[in-house]
Structure 1
């Protein structure tokens, strides 16, 4: 099942290179691509803009609130450019397979159009995601476009380590996004009555979203 919504510009206003937010003066965000190197990211402003973009979406709002409550958002921090994965990784109930903790990261992809993706967790991403739902909420700080998307595209081959959204058109500029929800993983085990297809499956539920800033 695919769900997506894109909201037009509003007042709250790949592998591709991921850029950071450059903030100066009265919290203005530059619409120009930053030069390669380390820049300061005003993460507190970024998460508040993202929360405004998520208005009316209870699941997205709850995910962002968990991000803030967990203290995962620094006041300001440098981000290396380019940095393809989101700068703040997700936390989940299964972590990387050895208990709750760091789970994986959102990512910006651009090999066939702009997409959001996610990688991480134990084993590989299961081809059947029934009962799970992984989503991303995003806002382009340069043009005000925003939306939510399901991450549903994945090829069941060893080289495909991500699950992705459809190709999007967020427009040019600075984009902040958070990935939240749940995701099925699997890894090979001996065939048995409990594992007739030779795989063990585990559902990961994100407790603290992966959060990042990218440049399109």
Structure 2
């Protein structure tokens, strides 16, 4: 009963978030908001100092030449998707995207990729580097919360106190996916697993 209740609450949260998106869709189209890309990435570089993984991720993002020019509104998917060694099909390529979620407090997350996100992320480590351009707060957070339910298509951070304002974030690291296959000695639980490594981070600017 507890598991069913959790799924129902999550489904209701997703539905509420979707309704929120519909309400703001017209506003987002009519009045797109821009921001200073160079200033935002320089803030990310400062926030990454001392964290080798974050420093390398920002360097790869800058070297890619991709530019985000609009601030996303709810449900706030990142404007630049991630690139990965496995992509969405065979071989490397476009992989998935970061996202900002607000159904139970502000969180960063990630969605997309092959198959579904594995509920057990042992051996993987997905992170987000973020900076609030409005108040100067910054941090790095592990993205690890995911429910083993078909309605849960994202993996998320814990709720974060970023403060209000415009926030830029870059999602980097590794993420474990799975998809159903026939049960066998090689796949005793009926799933095949694949570890994806992000080569170019997903980058975006969002509101809180």
Equivalent pair of 1:36/1:81 in contact (CA under 8 Å): no
Distance 1:65 1:84, change over 3 A: same
CA-to-partner distance for each residue in 1:138-161, whole Å, 9 max, x for gaps? 011111111000001000000000
Is 1:54 the counterpart of 2:48? The answer is: yes
TM-score (norm 1): 0.80
> Alpha-carbon deviation of 1:72?
2.1
Equivalent pair of 1:113/1:168 in contact (CA under 8 Å): yes
Paired residue for 1:142? Answer: 134
Determine helix, strand or coil for the equivalent of 2:56.
helix
Equivalent pair of 1:140/1:146 in contact (CA under 8 Å): yes
Moved over 6 A (4+): none
Is 1:152 the counterpart of 2:144? The answer is: yes
Determine helix, strand or coil for the equivalent of 2:169.
strand
TM-score (norm 2): 0.83
> Alpha-carbon deviation of 1:37?
2.1
Paired residue for 2:104? Answer: 112
Paired residue for 2:153? Answer: 161
Higher strand fraction (1 or 2): 1
> Alpha-carbon deviation of 1:49?
1.1
Q: 2:117 aligns with which of 122, 125, 129?
A: 125
Equivalent pair of 1:37/1:80 in contact (CA under 8 Å): no
Paired residue for 1:174? Answer: 166
Equivalent pair of 1:44/1:73 in contact (CA under 8 Å): no
Greater relative CO, 1 or 2 (CA 8 Å, sep 6+): 1
Higher helix fraction (1 or 2): 2
Q: Distance in 2 between matches of 1:54 and 1:116?
A: 17
Q: Which runs of 5+ in 2 are unaligned?
A: 1-16, 22-27
Q: Distance in 2 between matches of 1:191 and 1:38?
A: 49
Paired residue for 1:11? Answer: none
Is 1:68 the counterpart of 2:62? The answer is: yes
RMSD: 2.0
Determine helix, strand or coil for the equivalent of 2:61.
helix
Determine helix, strand or coil for the equivalent of 1:49.
helix
Equivalent pair of 2:75/2:100 in contact (CA under 8 Å): no
Q: Which runs of 5+ in 1 are unaligned?
A: 1-13, 18-33
**Would you say how many aligned residue pairs link Structure 1 and Structure 2?**
185
